[in-house]
Amino acid sequence: MVRTIIDAEKLDTLEKRERELECIYSISDLFDLHVPTESLLKGILQRLPSAFLYPEFAEACAILDGNEYHTEGYEKSKDSLSSEIIVHGAKAGMIRVSYKKELPFHEIGPFLSSEQRLLNMITARLCKVIERKKVEVALLDSEKRYRLIFDASPLGIFVDRKGIITHCNRSFMNIFQIPKADVVGSEIFDFVNDDSLNRLLAGASMDQHSFYENEYSASIAGNEKHLRSYYVPLRGRQNIIEGGICLIADITTNKNFAEELENQKELLTSTFNALQDLILVVDRDMRIVTSNWKGDIIEPQNPDNLHPQVCESLSPSLMPCEPCPIKAVFSTGTMNEFEHTDPSDHRVRDFRIFPVYDTKGDVMMAVSHIRDITERKETEEALKKSTTELEHAYEELKSLDKLKDEFLSNLRHELNTPLTSIKGFSELLYDGTLGELNENQMKAIERVVIKTRKLQDLINSLLFVSTNQSGDVKYNFEQIDLISTLNRVVNISTDSINEKNLLMMTDFTFDSCSIDGDRTYLPQVFHNLIDNAIKFTPKGGHITLFASVDENRVHVVIGDTGIGIAEEDIPALFTKFHQIDSSSTRNYGGNGLGLYISKVIVESHNGKIWIESEDGTGTDVHISLPLKQENQFSASSRSPSLSVERPVLR
């Protein structure tokens, strides 16, 4: 009976050893298949329980790099067997085997020592496989990365010891725009122009340089390109060249940019040197960094030393050195500006010294701008003198103008006294009050009356101009009917209109219109304009008087079919004493004050006056006046003086 039991135990042991071997062989096959790590772990976990004493209750779990893998019924229990996964000396995870139920105690809990050794053996093999896979992945990544770098870099070609190209990358093919098949097998000198390299590979030179660099031009697909080659020989024993690597780069863009930069530099340098002012750039050691040396001011004392001390180049007479204004800029960090007169030649120069800051905000350099302003100063002095003289002349003109106004005012009073007597007695004779006159006497006295009235109008016009200039014209604004005013002016002018056989036409779009105006001055405006229309319209012509209301203003137009006015003469018509030319004066008479006085009176009524005319086609004079407001008002051009006599124009 005892023998039977022993044989049964041996049989169980043999069966278990057989399962272990089958598990080892099966897992070894997995290691040889080069499957992904995740599939490898899952395969190990599926095969591992069969090697344990109670395979029907055994479940396996693996943890690697934070990821967990396990069989379907795995539950972690306190009775488990585990082995750590160590990759490159660091713990990466573990493999654990557990039983789903409590089982009899053996050597290590419910597990055997041989099972622990088996688990450790499988884990050790797994660690080596994982390490190999990680190395393979790193090598693949490195190869991929280096291949990308190689293809994208300016590394052009590999060559053998005879200078035959054995490999090239895409950059090289892109530069020369040829396929790889036409490159490999060609000589390096088909693409690289370097005489020293040619002699080296031909064996005619024993140079042992570590590299050979050259720049050259090549015509590629009809385009001129600038290339740079950089050849590094690979030397073997006895310094024999075994091959080499050649870097080829297209530097056309950089070359063009460098040439453009050089041209810009030359342009800036030429511009800098062409400046008439002296520019000095000084560093903190008070040395001149650069300058557009001006021989008439300063020039380098030693041509070999282009960075002398600034005080050595600028004499004390040219720029004061104690205290030095440039040092003041370095110490204060603010611009320094001043003028200095050279006592040796009395030239005046303007100094402006600007600080230049570095990235830390400290003053690293100072730029001194020196300009000779002697001529400008002389011009300023001459201008000041001229200004003073003009001011004196202006004051004298003001005095003369005041004397003129006083003279005109006195002249009006002096002339009015005898003129009043002449006018009065001539009108008495003309009316027959002083007796009957024969026909010749009547014509003579009529001529005297007309000329007296014109002389009176002239005196009144001169008085108005004088009074207006002093700002003492007084306006008495009151409600007046514009239609009645216009009709009265037309009636006064009837004799003159009939005398020239003119047709007078009026067109009023309203029966009456109340405005705020001066009963004396405002009618004079319309009288002056109608009188001008009569004067400049030939016999048989037409004169029109039109009035309409537009919103809050009344618009009056006095038109004629007279000689008209050239466009270039219109702007000056409202100027005091202005007449177009001397022939007009002789043919039509006048003193050049009528339109000026009309403009003054209209603008004093808050109105506007303007002229539309063409030479030879007649003239339209427009007047726009505001309608009467609810409240009457009184105004004057300036504060009136009660002692000044109010001039009556007609």
Contacts of 63 (CB under 8 A, 6+ apart): 69, 85, 93, 94, 96
- Average pLDDT on 9-35 reads 79
C-alpha span between 403 and 590 (Å, rounded): 24
Regarding pTM above 0.95, the answer is no
Q: Look at 20 and 11; give whichever has higher pLDDT.
A: 20
Ordered DSSP codes for 590-624: --S-HHHHHHHHHHHTT-EEEEEE-TTS-EEEEEE
C-alpha span between 434 and 423 (Å, rounded): 14
CA-based torsion, 249, 255, 256, 261: positive or negative: positive
* Residue 88 contacts residue 98 (beta carbons within 8 Å): no
CATH 3.30.428.10 at 2-135, yes or no = no
**CATH T-level fold of 276-372:** Beta-Lactamase (3.30.450)
Rounded to 5°, angle at Cα 449 from 448 and 452: 85
C-alpha span between 53 and 39 (Å, rounded): 25
Supply 497's token pair.
């209109």
| Mean pLDDT score across all residues of the chain | 81
631, pLDDT greater than 80: no
302, pLDDT greater than 70: no
What does the pLDDT read at residue 8? 65
State the pLDDT confidence band at 558, using cuts at 50, 70 and 90.
very high
The residue type at 243: G
C-alpha span between 342 and 325 (Å, rounded): 16
C-alpha span between 114 and 108 (Å, rounded): 10
503-508 and 514-518 strand pairing: unpaired
Q: What is the pLDDT of residues 388-436, one digit of tens each?
A: 999 999 998 888 877 877 776 677 677 777 877 787 778 787 787 877 8
Contacts of 575 (CB under 8 A, 6+ apart): 596
Residue labelled with tokens 């190689």: 150
313, pLDDT greater than 80: no
556, pLDDT greater than 90: yes
In CATH, the architecture of 476-626 is: 2-Layer Sandwich (3.30)
Alpha helices per DSSP H over 334-438:
374-431
What does the pLDDT read at residue 306? 67
What does the pLDDT read at residue 136? 85
Q: What is the pLDDT of residues 87-118, one digit of tens each?
A: 888 898 999 999 888 888 888 888 888 888 88
What does the pLDDT read at residue 294? 66
Q: What is the pLDDT of residues 331-372, one digit of tens each?
A: 888 998 888 888 888 888 888 889 999 888 889 999 988 888
363-372 and 542-550 strand pairing: unpaired
Domain ranges of the chain: 2-135, 153-257, 276-372, 378-450, 476-626
Q: What is the pLDDT of residues 242-288, one digit of tens each?
A: 888 888 888 888 888 888 888 888 888 787 777 778 888 888 888 88
What does the pLDDT read at residue 610? 93
C-alpha span between 51 and 48 (Å, rounded): 6
* Residue 543 contacts residue 488 (beta carbons within 8 Å): no
- Average pLDDT on 546-567 reads 90
Q: Do domains 2-135 and 476-626 have the same CATH topology?
A: no
Class of the domain covering 153-257: alpha beta
